[in-house]
Every structure is written in structure tokens, then in C-alpha cells.
Amino acid sequence: MNASALSPVHRAYAERNLPRYTSYPTALAFDTAQAEAGAAWFGRTRAEDKLSVYVHVPFCRRLCWYCGCHTTVAHDHQRVDAFVEVLSREVDLVAARLGEHDGLAHLHFGGGSPNALRPAQFSALVERIKGAFRVRPGAEIAAELDPGLLSKAFIDAAGEAGVTRVSLGVQTFDPAVQALVNRIQPHDQVARAVEQLRDVGVGGLNFDLMYGLPGQTPENVHASARLAALMRPDRIAVFGYAHVPWMKKHQVMIRQADLADTDGRWAQAEAADAALVEAGYMRIGLDHYALPSDSLSLAAAEGRLRRNFQGYTDDPAPVLVPIGPSSIGQFREGFVQNHAPTDQWAAKVNQGALPLNKALAIDAEDRTRAALIERLMCDMVVDVAAVCRDLGTTDQIVAESLAATDDLIAAGLCSREGTVIRIPEPARRLMRVVAARFDNRLPQTATRHAKAV
Ligand code: SF4
């Protein structure tokens, strides 16, 4: 293991609170006053639009102490059954409200844990969505699943429903770390899930790993990444734990004393990187890795990589349709978000209304800044003037953005040649610091984001 240390200058940047830029503007800018306007955007989709649909399942069978997701533990199945009924109603409601489109190209189940549903419920839901949005041949159907509680019956249901990609929350293989975060899942259990998923024809496999969890060290992060790579998932994401117990109450179960400082977190992230690159994975954007043959690696090589609420993707769909509590959608006009509390979301759906709580209309300047940030987060290089020219925005953004990078150039976080900004490989993990210089809404939201590393 050969990890490079964090320099004092870079440490100061690594400790800044910054968005993950899975969208620009970020969700913190969404506004309840715009929800009604957002509802009208559903009807303005175009005949050529391929749809991406995101379904949020806000239930889990256990609560991991590090969790930052919108979820609750479903102790009784009646709650889940009632939820699935409302969700099915919402599918029909949303499908009826959409304008013309060219069918469903990408369906993603996230959560929570979609495998908190019964296998038959999951299959029925997939069928209903495929019918309601007219699934296209070859569509990607993806689900995030908790491998610790994944039954063979659910895996069979996923195979029969035509699921093409599964993301398994692996996080760490270290038993001591698993105990500290209330997520016991032995290596054999994950290996069995992988084998069974492949047996039923799920062709795409993603793993999520973490660093910065209590009890993690560069050594045990390296060992977990090596074990993960041995199973040859197509993609591996490595996320840093964000300790925000004032926002996520259950995180008080994690002792601050068990957490590494910034230098320790950096060393852990470097250790995961070393293990994955050594195992033949390509670096993708900020925190993803993919086998060279995977479509994400090909998209990255060809400049087609995209970043959306699910992270890095090669999905070019212009319309993201939200289903389920807290789900975020995207239209040409802007972003929408559903009510997060399940009772409020259900009440709206039961009234026959779209369950939107917030929306944000975007203008030409937002689109330009979003494109600049997305290219930096995906390609680590952007020609600021070319993006502004393509999107018909002003030279003022070019001048402002270029001037805003002066200190970063001095610190080695990026270089500038004419109007081209480039992030060098050693600064990859700090790319959010560079991207943030193109964000003119950051001052209002800075303290609500996690640290850059
Ligand atoms: S399984 Fe995932 S969503 Fe559920 S509590 Fe654990 S980390 Fe959170």
C-alpha cells in the first residue's frame, strides 16, 4: 500500500463544507413556493424524451448507525403494504400527468432498501411501472439492495422482473467496523448474494464501500477494497462517512473518538484507491471505479459521463420522473421534489394530486453553471468559454469563474490555459473545491454540506 499524505494546504481545502454536486443548483435551493409551478412541468415532456424514473422506498429492516438516507425501520409489514398501495396509485397518477414521451429507458429503485418490500410486491411494482411508462427494449432496471437481508426469494423476483443492475451496500468487510455501525454482514453472505444475482441473470453489479466509519484504518479499508475487487463487480463507489448527528439523530450511536481526523480519512480514501487501481479498476470522477469494459468507463473515455442524483451515470435521459417520498425529479424547466414524510406524501397522492413539496425553476445562468460543474466533476477539465458559448450565456461568467480559480492554481488544485480549467490527477479527491468556484449559490448553503474529504 503506497498512499500519499495530505499536504497542509490541501488539508485546509479538504475541511471545507461543500456540496456533492449531484445536481446544480443543489436540493437546498429548492423552494416550497415553486411546487405548483413544478407540477405543470410534468405535462410539457416532448415526444422524443426518453424517461428515467426514480422510485424511493423509505424502509429498511435495520438501521445502520452511519445512515444518511431518508428511511425508517419497518417493524410491521402492514405499513409497507399500505405504502406500496399508495406508490402504485402514484405511478398511475404521474403517468397520466406526463406529456408525450418516448418511453422508459432507465428505472432506478433506491431507498432505504427496496428489498424491504416482499418479493411479490417488488415484482408487481416493476410490472406496473413498465406498463405505465411504456418500457423501452433494453431499458436499464436498477435496484439498491441491502445484502445483509437479501433473500433468495427476492433475488429470484428481481431476476424474473428483468432487473439488469444491482447495487449492494457492502461498505466494509471488517467485522469490528460492522459491529460499530450496526451492520453485520459476513463476507460469505455478500459472496452468496453476488453468486445468486449472477445466476438469475443480473448482468450489472455495483458495490458501495465507505471510508471514515468508526474503527476504519487505511489497512482495513485497503483489505475491504481488495476483497470487494476479488468479486469483480463492474462498478465500485467509495463514499466518505459524513458525521452529522445534529441532523441524523441515530448517528449519536457513533463515538467521535472512533472516527479518524481529516488526515486519517484522506489516508483511508487513498488506501481504497490504491487497492482498486491495483485490481484493474478505472477511476471515474470523484469517487467511482469501474472495470475498463464497463459502460461507465466507456462513457468517461468518450466524454459522455453524466452526474445525477444517483451519482455517476451514462444515462442521458433529459427527464427524471420522481416516485415515492422525498424523490427528486428533473425537467427542462427545473427540479421538483416530493414530500419527504410518508404521511404527507400519501395524503397528496390519495387526493389525486402530485405529491410535490418543492421545486426550483432554472434559468440560463443556472444551466451554464450546472454544465461547468458537471464537466469538471465528470471529466476534470472544462473549457469555460466553450460551455458559455454553447449555452448562450455571458462572458461575465467566463471572466468571474476564471478569476475565482487563482488561489486554487497556486495550490495545485487546478491549472488554467486560456479558458480551459483542468484538475490534475493528484487533486482528483478535491475536485469539489474547484467545482464550487462555479457555484454562485454556495454562500447561503455552505454550512449545511459535509466536508470535502
Ligand atoms: S440499509 Fe442503507 S438505507 Fe437502510 S439504514 Fe442501512 S444505510 Fe440506511
Which pLDDT tens digit goes with each residue over 230-267? 999 999 999 999 999 998 999 999 999 999 999 999 99
To test the pocket of ligand 1, the residue of 62, 69, 184 to mutate (highest count of ligand atoms within 8 Å of its CB) is 69
What type of residue sits at position 7? S
For residue 182, is it left (φ>0), alpha (ψ between -120 and 50) or beta?
A: left
Task: Using the atom order of ligand 1, give the atom closest to the CA of residue 60.
Answer: 4
- Per-residue pLDDT of 173-186, as tens digits, reads 999 999 999 999 99
Q: What is the pLDDT of residue 401?
A: 80
Strands 415-417 and 381-383: unpaired
Neighbours of 227 (CB within 10 A): 18
Contacts 24+ apart (CB under 8 A), 347-351: 349/86, 349/89, 349/90, 349/93, 350/86, 350/89
Residue 146 carries which side chain, given as an amino acid letter? D
Residues 6+ apart with CB under 8 A from 390: 371
Determine whether the shortest distance from the Cβ of 366 to ligand 1 is under 6 A: no
Torsion of CA 412, 414, 418, 420, to 10 degrees: 160
Q: Residue 444: pLDDT band by 50, 70, 90 thresholds?
A: low
Delimit the CATH 3.80.30.20 region(s) of the chain: 22-319
Distance CA 408, CA 282 (A): 26
**Residue 83's Cα: distance from chain center in Å?**
23
CB of 71 closer than 6 A to ligand 1?
yes
What pLDDT is recorded for position 446? 60
Closest of 41, 49, 26, 53 to residue 356, by C-alpha:
41
Specify the pLDDT at position 332.
95
Instruction: Report the pLDDT value the prediction gives residue 375, as an integer from 0 to 100.
Output: 96
Helices 342-350, 77-97: inter-axial angle, 10-degree rounding: 50
Atom of ligand 1 nearest to the CA of 71: 3
* Structure confidence at residue 171 as a pLDDT band (50, 70, 90): very high
Q: Is 169 in the pocket of ligand 1 (CB under 6 A)?
A: yes
Q: Ligand 1 centroid vs 63 CA: distance in angstroms?
A: 6
CB of 208 within 6 A of ligand 1: the answer is no
Q: Would you state the pLDDT for residue 74?
A: 84
| Contact of 291 with 282, CB cutoff 8 Å | yes
Distance CA 178, CA 216 (A): 10
Secondary structure letter of residue 440 according to DSSP: T
Radius of gyration of the chain (CA): 21
pLDDT at 339 over 90: yes
Atom of ligand 1 nearest to the CA of 183: 6
| 110 Cβ inside 6 Å of ligand 1 | no
Measured distance CA(242)–CA(67) in Å, rounded: 9
| 91-126 pLDDT tens trace | 999 999 999 999 999 999 999 999 999 999 999 999
- Name the CATH code of domain 364-441 (choices 1.10.10.920, 3.40.50.150, 2.40.50.140, 3.40.309.10): 1.10.10.920
Look at residue 9 in the predicted model and tell me its pLDDT: 84
Going from the Cα of 184 to the center of ligand 1, the distance in angstroms, rounded, reads 12
Question: What are the residue ranges of CATH 1.10.10.920 in the chain?
Answer: 364-441
* Residue nearest atom 7 in ligand 1 by C-alpha distance: 67
Ligand 1 centroid distance, CA of 222 (Å): 23
> Does the beta carbon of 115 sit less than 6 angstroms from any atom of ligand 1?
no
Residue whose Cα lies nearest atom 6 of ligand 1: it is: 64
Chain mean pLDDT for the chain: 94
Q: How far is CA 338 from CA 90, 295, 362, 366, 370, in A?
A: 11, 31, 18, 22, 22
Distances (CA, A) of 260 to 101, 147, 244, 256, 414: 49, 26, 15, 9, 27
Q: What is the per-residue pLDDT for 447? A: 65
> Ligand 1 in contact with 113 (CB < 6 A)?
yes
- At 386-436, the pLDDT tens digits run 998 888 887 787 788 888 899 999 999 999 999 999 999 999 999 999 999
Q: To test the ligand 1 pocket, which listed residue (59, 61, 63, 70) has its Cβ within 8 A of the most ligand atoms?
A: 63
Residue position matching grid coordinates 396509485: 89
Distance 170 CA to ligand 1 centre (A): 11
Report whether pLDDT(316) > 90.
Answer: no
Dist. CA 174 → ligand 1 center (Å): 17
Percent above pLDDT 90 for the chain: 84
More confidently predicted of 149 and 119: 119
Whether ligand 1 lies within 6 angstroms of the CB of 63 is answered as yes
CB 154 within 8 A of CB 120: no
Architecture of domain 22-319: Alpha-Beta Horseshoe (3.80)
Matching residue, cell 491549472? 415
Give the lowest-confidence range in 85-94, 241-250, 373-382: 241-250
Residue 1 has pLDDT above 60, yes or no: no
Residue 111, ligand 1, Cβ within 6 A: yes
pLDDT for the residue numbered 2: 44
